[in-house]
Structure 1
């Protein structure tokens, strides 16, 4: 369960929010405490100024008035209590109040177990009203001599305001935070779980659909949610991948079927001749049997070599070596070969100089294949031409045959494709020649196309990037 994206996202979000809320709560309580201490300290400072002014003016002030929320203490320079609330007459209380720095910041002290914010001011002139020192025992705390003993010029006045109400407010705030933080964390976890679950619902649907797609049937597609986000993009990408796999599988099946069909025919011929020769040795001349075996073996060899070449082109790309190739020399060499056979006339007047980059053997194979195709379908002549147009070497191979129907002009470059006219194995070859041309030209950065020829037959056009050079 914890390995799911939903669970991890929920835990991560809850943890981040929990840490943030805890840190924020601690900071809030600290700031709140500081704020209430400063507020109470400010009020104590005002009371201190008021008492000090009254004492300086000689106004009679009753500092011993009991107030649970405020303690006023007048201390001599020796630490004895000159006057003040009953609470400050306690030795521990007076000792705590004596630690308050006159004129300094407010100081938090403890008196009778309660917290107070105390401020002090020294240099207060008052009449000495008698008192006890900080070291007196508790039994002597009430022994204050009420008789005047003289004038005191450097008394210290301390005013302490209670923090009980402020502490109660901080405690309530702390309690609320202790309750609210877990609730907020749980709420965030719930919302995160719901939101992530809804966001991942299309992913789960995609997963279930993909899980149901078998290797034997790749026609199904995953649902594409209209969410306009990465999940929709993922679904589109996966469907595109499935389309490519499906197309590749169909192509592979068709290829295997076509290859099996092509190889079955010569094998059937060989088997038939061998069976006849075995059953009736006198009816099958040895020369005829040898010629048939040689022809059908050559045909099978051509098919196998063509298949191997297509496989190597798929694996290696442009070829084993890439260099500058004089395409005009390749065309002229093919023209000589065709002329030597004497099957058709060859027109080479349209050949100009052009140089391309590629594997010389592969480019020669491509040119030979389209020339052989033209010779195979020509009535009496073919024409070879080459020129450079806008940095592209353009090769035209024309024949005066019956041409290629417009509907079949792109299909002729597929594997094992023969047009109706060339169904016979003798005329049609292996059906791989133009497929090899298309592969070689593609890996060389060019294109190949079929069109109508000015001679009345078919025109095959190769376009390859031309290069400059001697």
Structure 2
């Protein structure tokens, strides 16, 4: 099953390469936004220009009309003098008897319902029209908007050229800038792609600028460091496990060969006893390895309310049933949330470790302090040197290598304790016990709902 899983990222990478690149997607997105913005801006500019020029012409006509109306009312301008000002201006006087000036052209002009200018079309030509009441009727003045239309048309043509040029310019700049921004990422990808299991010590260079690319390189270097540490740990783990399993297998093989070669040198049933003993030892090693493998995959079991003091009391009863001396007077309520089976296994490992090194007996205690539930196991043995207190939690580590295999452990018990603790967001550590030996402490977050 491992081989297909290993091939999935490669297939995903091939699919990613077939898709549009980030550079192209950014370019398309940028050009889309710029094109929409510039198009809307161009339409707004043309419309605003048309409205501005039309309002300007309307204001001019209003001033001219006011002067005409004042002159007509004052008698300084005769109605017969209301003639067409130029080719673009039409003037009409509407009375009860009809149009008296420029009747042929101006008769078709509408009369604005108010003093505000309006727009009208005459022979497919747009006019701005204003009107004002005088004593003799209504004076209507109109100016052709052809100059306005010409200006708007020119502006439209200029924008039709300028907008595409601006889009092309923006696209070119975006393409170059994004390409330069992504070049370091592409180089990093190539460098990471070249790192295999034989070159896990390689790291990505950093520019020192402290930007996003530098932070990405630092993150990937930390990831490579974790991968390298994990690979070293796995190699060491495999080597140690092989060594641990080789020893019981060698013992069984040697005794079997001795029994076959010199049957008179071995008692009946002795081979079976050796096989059973070494098989039990191998079973313990394999079970511990499987548990550590599950903990490495962050499988912390089912989380339920658990009392560490209850688990400790169970260990007190077990040890007393074995005929060993153990003190549980210091046990106090220590509620946590976690997997009772795993926590019980961790506590049993601590108690068994203490029993192997204790001269007279062991003591258990528990307490809640500063939001943490703690349970400890004390022994009156020789203790653990301060410089070795972290190393004993490593896998297959034994400080007393001279002790007999059947009396000692596999070197996995304390490693399981720490992994169980960390799987429950806690930790395990060592200090000196009041009896002069070692105190092993299992510390976990307290169950706040039960305190």
1:7 aligns with 2:24: yes
Q: State the SS of the aligned residue for 2:127.
A: strand
Classify the secondary structure of the residue corresponding to 2:226: helix
The CA deviation string for residues 160-217 of structure 1, in whole angstroms up to 9 with x for no partner, is 2233433333233222222221122222222222333333333323322332232554
Structure 2: how far apart are the matches of 1:466 and 1:110?
Answer: 86
Q: In the alignment, does 2:360 pair up with 1:381?
A: yes
Partner of 2:98: 79
**Alignment CA distance shift 1:368-1:50 (3 Å):** closer
1:43 CA displacement: 1.5
Alignment check: 8 A CA contact 2:300 2:339 kept: no
Does structure 1 residue 94 correspond to structure 2 residue 74?
no
The match for 1:343 is: none
Q: What root-mean-square deviation, in Å, do the aligned CA atoms of Structure 1 and Structure 2 show?
A: 3.4
Corresponding position of 2:333: 355
Distance across 2 between alignment mates of 1:385 and 1:182: 82
What are the ranges of 5 or more consecutive residues in structure 2 without an aligned counterpart?
Answer: 1-17
Check the 8 A contact 1:105/1:119 in 2, yes or no.
Answer: yes
Decide whether aligned partners of structure 1 residues 333 and 441 sit closer, same or farther in structure 2, where only a CA change above 3 A counts: farther
Matched-pair contact (CA < 8 Å) for 2:248–2:282: yes
Work out whether residues 334 and 366 of structure 2, in 8 Å CA contact, stay in contact via their aligned partners in 1: no
Q: 1:280 to 1:7 in 2, by over 3 A?
A: same
CA–CA separation in structure 2 for the residues paired with 1:95 and 1:2:
68
Structure 1's 309 and 54: CA in aligned 2 closer, same or farther, altered over 3 A?
A: closer
Q: TM-score, normalised by structure 2?
A: 0.80
Distance change >3 Å, CA 368–CA 217, structure 1 → 2: same
5, 21, 34: which one aligns with 2:38: 21
> Is 1:400 aligned to residue 381 of structure 2?
yes
* C-alpha displacement of 1:417: 0.9
Q: Distance in 1 between matches of 2:193 and 2:267?
A: 62
- How many angstroms does 1:388 deviate by? 3.0
Change in Cα spacing, 1:163 to 1:347, as seen in structure 2 (3 Å) is closer
- Rg larger in 1 or in 2? 1
Q: Return the alpha-carbon distance in structure 2 between the equivalents of residues 65 and 447 of structure 1.
A: 101
Distance 1:223-1:297 versus aligned 2 partners, 3 A rule: same
Deviation at 1:265, TM superposition (A): 1.2
2:132 alignment partner, one of 113, 117, 121: 121
1:38 aligns with 2:55: yes
Alignment length (residue pairs): 425
Q: Find the counterpart in structure 2 of residue 256 from structure 1.
A: 238
Task: Give the gaps of 5 or more residues in structure 1.
Answer: 126-153, 341-345
Tell me the CA shift for residue 311 of structure 1: 3.6
